Amino acid sequence: MTAAIILAAGGSSRLGFPKQTLLYKGKTLLELSIEAGLKSKCDPVVVVLGANADAIEAGIKDNNITIIHNPNWPEGMASSIKVAIEYINKIEVIDSAVMMLCDQPFVNRGLIDNLLYKQQQTRNAIVACAYKDTVGVPVLFKRSLFTELLSLHGQEGAKKVLNSHLDQIAVIPFEKGGIDIDTIADYEDLLKNS
């Protein structure tokens, strides 16, 4: 079984208000991520909230998801990864996790299921998305790497674990993976080009 973990705890400091609530095609960025997770073969879908949690949770709580609050979100992304991995680590049937962010609007069910399919094909411990001359999220990690994910600190994200295991990564192409929303300009570009 593969869990989907949606990291949505950040304070959107560069944007000035919660990016999780930005609308794209009639849904918030976070709703789009949740929809992709729920329609995929992943189960459970875990959403990590932190900054502005109360306002954000009100809009998503009716979905069939597990919401985890990360009180340490100001410390950085590693703290959100930790609370999610600690949660799914207790569920023995989970043997892998797909790590997602809530600000990549083009992640969909097909992409997530392709990660799972590629892992079954290759048996690699990591399956990552390839875009803009790099590999990154969404990314699937097998349980064997959960301990390393738990050892991340501060602003470190899953990229540190990826870089430690470059020989174990299978990749799938995700052309629009480089489109993420950090600033108003990013958001305006997204709306203009859609």
Q: How many domains does the chain have?
A: 1
The pTM of the full predicted model, rounded to 2 decimals, is 0.95
Question: What phi and psi, each to the nearest 5 degrees, are found at residue 109?
Answer: -55, -45
Domain holding 160, by residue range, is: 2-192
Identify the pLDDT of residue 155.
86
Q: What is the mean pLDDT of the chain?
A: 93
pLDDT in tens, 84-143: 999 999 999 999 999 999 999 999 999 999 999 999 999 999 999 999 988 999 999 999
What's 61's domain CATH number? Answer: 3.90.550.10
Amino acid at 114: N
Q: Is the dihedral of CA 84, 72, 179, 17 positive or negative?
A: positive
Rounded CA separation 193/110 (Å): 22
pLDDT at 63: 93
pLDDT at residue 171 greater than cutoff 90: yes
* Backbone region of residue 172 per phi and psi (left: phi > 0; alpha: psi in -120 to 50; beta: other values): beta
Q: Tokens 């052309």 correspond to what residue?
A: 175
Q: What is the pLDDT of residues 66-86, one digit of tens each?
A: 999 999 999 999 999 999 999
